[in-house]
Amino acid sequence: SVYKEQVMSVYLSDTFKNRKSSKQVTWTPALGKLLNYRLKYVPHNGGKEVVQKIPAKATCTIMKNLKPATTYNITVLPIYKRSEGKAKQGVGTTRIVGVVSSLVLDTQCKTTAKADIMLLVDGSWSIGRKNFKTIRNFIARLVSVFDIGPDRVQIGLAQYSGDPKTEWHLNTHHTKESLLNAVANLPYKGGNTMTGMALNHILQYNFKPNVGLRPDSHKISILITDGKSQDEVIVISQNLRDSGIELYAIGVKNADEYELRSIASDPDDIHMYNVYDFQFLVDITDELSVNLCNSVKGSGREGAISAPTNLVTSEVTQSSFRATWTPPNGTVEKYDVTYMMTAGEHGGTVFNGSVSTVVLENLNPLTEYVISVYAVVGKQSSEPLRGTETTRECFLFCFSAAGCMDIPPPAGEVVVGGDRPPNLGGPEVSPERWRLIPNLTYRHRHTGTHRHKHPFPPSCSHMHSLHTQPTWRQT
């Protein structure tokens, strides 16, 4: 292929969060008409090789579920219809896992809504006592964000293996202190993995008024498992959802992702998680806590606030997009807008109820975000209006979502340009508008300016080789 000897450049950078288990890889675009890119990465000292197919228009992606403190060999290969391009390699090292100094998150779920949450924990032999301790810590971090009490959030727990067992009911613990003490002393059960039987157990014995279920509360269940179930789960999961129970499914290590999706409520990107190993549970804690809090805030109740409708996204760039919605009937004091990416990072903003549009900025390129919009009056909030949007791909030399890496011209190369390059307005620009001197080879750069008056860094501009030299005078 004519493109096989082209030179591609590959750059590596940390993601904003999950630096211990993820890495962003960025490359300069390959020439010609691509089918796609093939990304491969494998631990330098040996291990499982991961292969991903990346869209042809992409110039960056996130490598997820990496081992901490591990060096990876990375290869990006352009794929054409009849051949492969020349592969370019890079090397990156993930960060060391930090020590969790406290089980209590700084962020609290501030809501007066009622919710009844049942935790369903896999206690089978495949987990092991050491990993079960990690699960206890993970649960403690989750429950610590809520205001626990008979008039707020109630949390029960059932553990299962060959047969399920209720460790405590929804109405057992009336304070956060009592609940955290129970979590710290949760025994390890051991046995097989009968997830379907366990799901049926919480429906038949835990989500009942005689053990604490309240008629005006939001019903939520969170499954934590490390393997494929040895019995059927699809029908009973649907029965739970049909009963008004919102299901979260968290898989670890050997969990079956298809099975997790069949259990979890829609959308999957909010209700389903699958991590490489138990030590990575800490990486999803913040995002899961936010999603759970949003579920609790959106609890159906008498006199509930109407939700906004018709969420529309527009003005999409590599680092921002606009979200617009139709306000609900009645007075709204403010809107609470949250947005999160599947890799784990989340953000949010609150603003006056007279506004029904917002620009979300400082986002990662080529990343899908889930947006939730709540109408807020006093201490009450509406059901969330949710939608998704994907930011555009990186510019040519984009190094990370926060900035770009300047790539100087090779030694001895002259970058030619006028004293003051022109400001070309909008998409109508054409090379035919400029008087050119033929038969000269040089390089030129053009840089975009953000419509919201924030110029892109000069190093984010596009560099091209031309065989004619412009005089920067308009004809």
pLDDT digits (tens, 9 = 90+) for 225-251: 988 888 999 999 999 999 999 999 999
Asked if residue 126 has pLDDT above 50, the reply is yes
As a whole number of angstroms, the distance between CA 201 and CA 167 comes to: 12
Q: Which tens digit of pLDDT belongs to each residue from 248-261?
A: 999 998 788 889 99
Of 349 and 101, the one with more pLDDT: 349
| Residue 386: per-residue pLDDT | 83
Q: What percent of the chain lies above the pLDDT cut of 90?
A: 26
Q: Which tens digit of pLDDT belongs to each residue from 272-309?
A: 998 888 888 888 888 888 888 888 876 544 456 778 88
CA distances from 138 to 155, 164, 247, 396, 423 (A): 15, 20, 18, 40, 54
| Residue 457: per-residue pLDDT | 40
**134-143, 254-263, 374-383, 420-429: least confidently modelled range:** 420-429
Of 429 and 244, the one with more pLDDT: 244
| Residue 420: per-residue pLDDT | 37
Full set of structural domains in the chain with CATH: 10-93 (2.60.40.10), 115-297 (3.40.50.410), 309-390 (2.60.40.10), 406-474 (no CATH)
Read off the tokens for 139: 């649960």
Asked if residue 142 has pLDDT above 80, the reply is yes
**22-26, 68-72, 85-89, 209-213: least confidently modelled range:** 85-89
Read off the tokens for 76: 């990006």
As a whole number of angstroms, the distance between CA 373 and CA 380 comes to: 14
As a whole number of angstroms, the distance between CA 201 and CA 166 comes to: 9
The pTM of this model reads 0.47
In 3D space, the residue among 239, 224, 140 whose CA is nearest the CA of residue 182 turns out to be 140
Give me the mean pLDDT over the 44-51 stretch. Answer: 83
Position 420: which residue type? Answer: R
Is the distance from CB of 141 to CB of 285 less than 8 angstroms? yes
The band of 419, judged by pLDDT with boundaries at 50, 70 and 90, is very low
Orientation angle between helical segments 176-184 and 129-143, nearest 10 degrees: 170
CA atoms within 13 A of residue 216's CA, in its CB half-sphere: 10
| Residue 339: per-residue pLDDT | 82
| Residue 169: per-residue pLDDT | 97
Q: Average per-residue pLDDT in the chain? A: 74
